[in-house]
Structure 1
Amino acid sequence: MGVLISLAKIFVKLALAGLVIVLLAVAGVYYTLAPQLPDVESLREVQFQTPMRIFSSDSKLIAEFGEKRRTPVSYDSIPTDLVRAFQAAEDSRFFEHIGIDFKGLSRAAFQLATSGHIQSGGSTITMQVAKNFFLSRERTFNRKFIEILLALRIERELSKEEIFELYINKIYLGQRAYGIEAAAGVYYGSSIQDLTLAQMATIAGLPKAPSTDNPIRNPQRAIERRNWILQRMHGLGYISDQAFEEASAAPITARYHGADIELDAPYVAEMVRSELFERFDEELYNEGYRVYTTLDSKLQTKATHALQNGLLDYSTRHGYRGPESQLDTALTPDAIAQKLESMTSYANLEPAIVTQVDDKNIQASLKNGESVTVDWDGLKWARKYRSNNSMGATPKKAADILAPGDIVRLYKDTDSWTLSQLPQVQGAFVALDPKDGAIRALSGGFNFNLNKFNRATQAYRQPGSNFKPFIYAAALDNGFTPASMINDAPVVFHDASLGGDWRPQNYSERFYGPTRLREGLYRSRNLVSIRLLRAVGIDTTIDYIQGFGFDPQRLPRNLSLSLGSADVTPLEIVTGYAALANGGYKVSSYFIQRIEDQHGNLIFQANPPCANCNATQDTDSVDTTASRLSPSAPRIMDPRNAYLMYSMLQDVIRQGTATRARSLDRNDLAGKTGTTNDQKDAWFTGFNRDLVATTWVGFDQPAPLGRSEFGSTTALPIWIDFMETALDQTPENGPVQPDGIVRVKIDPATGLLAYPGQKNAIFEVFRAEDVPARSTQNAAGTGQITTDDIF
């Protein structure tokens, strides 16, 4: 017995000595490592890597840019069941311990002693916060010890709720999702507030192995992990028997959800990303910036659809180019489905394979496996395309068009399916507010995913007659009036820059003699524009026109400028027209309204120059609270000339080349068509004082659109389609007549003041000092005019 007591005393002494040695070692390691520990207080100011989100002016999500999908949430917004699910999965005693789970650490120490490496870390949620924010993922004793020290410090300086909030927003949960809110969106397309208990347990099971336990990639493993967590929650008393049974029996409902895009505006999203990358560099994708654009979601949606429909209409008018490819009908259904699955849907055009061809209809299979019927009404348009000026015979039966195995595009119109095709023609559409240049809608092509080239901002094309209003505006600034007479007659110019002798013609190849300036514009007479430019002078005209924002280096210094041979983008054209709509003020287009950081702090606010901001006549159409704070845009036109140009361009719609727009039944609209040589470009730009919009249609590699395609037939219908929505329920807002304008009757044949009682006299508007002289009456009862009066 004495020997045993002696041995026990020796053992106790050795144990105490060993404990002292361990404590001294621990103390030594602590005092060695403590100075190297990071400042825990920095966790209070942590900035989570959060993607940039881009919104419309009315807060519709347009795009999300960033490697990590994350939406930080506060502890108070986390459902109790979700908190408990993570406790059950990771740290059931989180709200009781001091940051260390001694049982877990003992288990890790035993593994280290028996195997030479740590198999499970025994980490608490607090220790995981220490590791995720400050440490590497290496499994070494030294790193584990530092992790413990940091956990103790974190527990001293932060509340449990703050620690849990850091953890829940930092963790990686698979599919590029960081944090629980992002995971709820990625897997279930919802917020954490809307998750079921089964879904919460599934997400709580992801931190351990976000790839192997992923419910999308491995649903069976996800069910096993989820049910283990539910069992733990039940055993810990977190959930009832019924809740446990129902959640355990629930199927896996997870599927991949991309960013919840609410507004289709990818061209503008890329414009924002490109511009801000120059300012913020790579931090753009991680700092959680919220960028609000100037887009109006209603107008943007309509602009996208109007352009797509217009391009599809053009494509249909010129015939069917045939199927995209042909599959062997002997292929297995799986092989066919795989082929269709690899094809992208563009706009509303769905890929499909023709499975059966009957007399007047076809059967086709969509890539979702659905079988659909296309009746004759959806097929009979498909005459064979031969060229932009020629089509084949009208089909008599479905077999004249398609065969089994053809890969085609279909779209659903109301309740019926129609054969379609991806258009080869392209286009652009831009609408902006003429008061300050805010872009309200922009589409740079048929579909961004099909072709990312932004034709609204990057395509330099000739505007044709769409450019003539700027030539006429320069003429008004140099003494001409709407009644000035210009001779629409043949002429030959020798100009080396135009390749020698130049014999310009009107499109009709006819000449109409003396023509008033107003009529020359609304009828788009080429010879009138050419003689007008020659009379004003090329240098004088270019000096004036560049005030509208056009690059003088892209304006040809020859008479072809009068016919729109300059190289311009649709955005430049519509911005130039803004001055014609707003009374003569130069505004610059912009598309970023404001930028906020992830906490909602304002870091940028646009404050563009505004046209006539403080004028009382504009208070019904301008936000006067904002406009008083805005700088005034520079005036580039005499207000009277701006009024005259607006009036003349209204006649383009009333009686000129754009009479189709009269279908809108408004008196405040003005605009101009444009068609270039060989119909390679078709344009229409139109406006009232609230909105100016332009449409361009053409091929990326310039080629004739076809002999019947003009600005009035190709571009104008797109503009009308957009404006029907844009102007719906809005009051008319036409030009406000400035002081110094008079309205008198003139002789339409001479442009002179009408003689008393003249029956064919018409009204015209002039600057007060430019009212013409009285016409004299000759024997025929018409006014007299000599060739000296005609340019």
Structure 2
Amino acid sequence: MAEKYQTREERRKKLANQQKGKKKKGKVSIKRVFLFLVALGIIGLLAGAATFAFMVKDAPKLDEKLLKDPISSELYDVNGEVFTEIGSVKRDYVNYEDIPKQVEEAILATEDVRFYKHNGIDLIRLGGAVVANFTRGFGSEGASTLTQQVVKNSFLSPEKTLSRKAQEAWLAFQLERKYTKQQIFEMYVNKVTMDTGGHGIATAAKVFYGKELDELNLAETALLAGLPQSPYNYNPFRNPDKAEKRRNIVLSLMHQHGFISKDEMEEAKAVDVTSTLVPEEERQKNGDIPYDAFVGHVIKEIEKKYPDLDPFSDGLKIYTTIEPDAQQYVEDILNGNEIIAYPDDKFKAGITLLDTTTGQIRALGGGRNQTVDFGFNYATDAKRQPGSTIKPIIDYGPAIEYLKWGTYYTLEDKPYTYSTGDKINNWDNKHKGIMTIREALADSRNIPALQTLQAVGLDKAKEFAISLGIPLKEIHESYSIGGFGGADKGVSSLEMAGAYSAFGNNGFYTDPYSVIKIVLRDGTELDMKPESKVVMQDSTAFMVTDMLKDVVTSGTGTRANVSGLPLAGKTGTTNYSADDKERYDIPKGAVPDAWFVGYTTNYTAAVWTGYDDKNKNFLVGDDQKIAQKLFKNIMEHVSKDKETADFKVPNTVEKVNIEKGTMPAKLASEFTPKDLVRTEYAVKGHAPTEVSEKYKKLEAPVGLKANYDALSNEIVLTWDYTAENAEGIQFEVYAARDNAAEELLTVVPEKTIRMKAEKGGNYTFKVIAVREELKSDPATTTIQVPDPFFMDDGQEDGDGDGIPDIPGFDGEDGEEGSEGGDQSGGDGTGDGNNAGWPGWNNGNNNGNGNGGNRP
């Protein structure tokens, strides 16, 4: 029920009082919220302070020695033994007052432009660094101050945690309180790692340019100022292109912060990075670091996974995969001429040796006669076209994996073109007709390789190659024979070794690696082992391996074979284009690159050989075989006194007997000639089912006849053979007399024979056509050889002597008769000029010989 008022004025006052009460309540609520937030903020600050205090309570104390001297790291071999230390040598110290202004400005512009304005922590720089990384690209500007970097490099582990960052900030603040800005800057300049340039910018100036700090020009100063962000990658000896990009970023920052003019910046950017470096022939190898090709890769591997770690100053324990004996042998064979006769000192080689099953790098041959530590590594950094070594990776491996081809699969090596219509040739410019992929791979035929890639498809082939660590950006049909192009300049021996090791490891691929684990100064262990992954069926791995075994036993790679060692591998050479041959006057038969990649169940090795400038120097004659010789000697050395098992046939594979020359491949029949039967492997369930009918059961001889030649006392056998395929046919002739056992008389290719007859009897003859193990049904015939004294009386006796006539002997003129018997018989009535039957007629000149009785 609505409330009643006496007047309108009374109602108005009532409503006004109600609104006033509401406003009062609202003010009270806002005030309470504000007070609550203030209280919450205070609690948060207290909690944050407490958390910060907790994080920094275990922070190390400032140690002046550690601030100035880096801590070396120990490297351990695969047996757990220390084989070298890095980081404790090669440093020229420079005092602050001797640091040129240009060097200081370059460092400040790059690392900490507000260095002289903050107290160790620069919140403005932190915000600016975030913006710069978005606007000018990652790496344009760092977030840490110089003070923080000195602290981090001196006392702390590189892990990125809130606790470590809190300790870094706390120690930076303390450092700023204890030392002047100039002292801190001096610490940074002398402590920073410069890769090959050692520690400190003054040392790097001498190593890279052969100059003192005050002799550097602007371009050189900018390069050195940019090096510490990634010393290995920006090393101008190793990576001049990356070094130039980093140098130009530093120059842009110097211009941005007003240290140099735009003209000065542009002039310095135009300087070729390599133009002022110490010439290679004048670089002095300091010899402090053994196995520097391997150690350099270790540093690169650590930097890639843990970029905040500095092996030169963090005091790490680095457990590597190196096998010292193998590494030493690789270096000895590359740097001497005792084992391999190299054509000249410009000849280059890169070698990678892996453990087949684990992917661990056992040795790296970074080059021949290297002049500086951590120079260009031809095993890991050189990218060259792989030639035919790519065929198992892009052609035949994918065909077995995706199309289930067996090693018997047949292709025709014939005149052929790419899909573009361009002609493709084999290395010998010949064609060998129908052949299996085993034969095509062993003899390195190009045309079957292209046919295989076309059957697989470019996308599948690329997918397979990438899974094996070959970093293809694109793929074309020319890749089937190793003719890389476009964005793919080539591959390294490290990548090829990694790919081939998967074939030797039952289809498991592991990224090749050189570091097993890292132990930090506080005992924290960082696992560096990559995970293995299945990239192909074990049937694919085995069948590719079995085909590659033929390469070294009977194919193009026989010079790489090691007697008694189960070994698989592939040769590879690249070619010059027709234009290059003409332009650079390349001699006939010369090639720019020669490879050999192979493996046992224990080791995998990839060897590249060639020259830096392939258009001025080229491989000719036996120089093209040096890669095989290097492989053979290295594999023989590392396998000595070590058991090497053969590759096992997996249960996913079955043997099949194929008839050579059938296309598509067919099973050999029981009548296929032995020399045309090939034992091959098939993926179980995918073997051919059709049996060849080309060679059926041999047809039997026809028209077999036996005639007796009384004059010579011989039986003459004749027959014919009308089968279509009579090539290689011979005939086995058997005989049996009366009831005696059958005997083999002879084996002849002719279709007639003559044999001496005995004294009468019934002869049975059998003739069989044969070709190796195949035989026809027999053709048979019989003949009765005359026996005068066992003939029936009813037989003709033309001369009346009581003995059946023998054609050509009785009743005809003949010569003097031969000796007769001693008992009487019938007299002949002939002229007496025919010879008497031996031992039977005592003939004479007038034919009146007295017949003798039988003996």
TM-score normalised over the length of structure 2? 0.46
Structure number having the greater helix percentage: 1
Larger relative contact order (CA 8 Å, sep ≥ 6): 1
TM-score normalised over the length of structure 1? 0.50
| Larger Rg, first or second structure (1 or 2) | 2
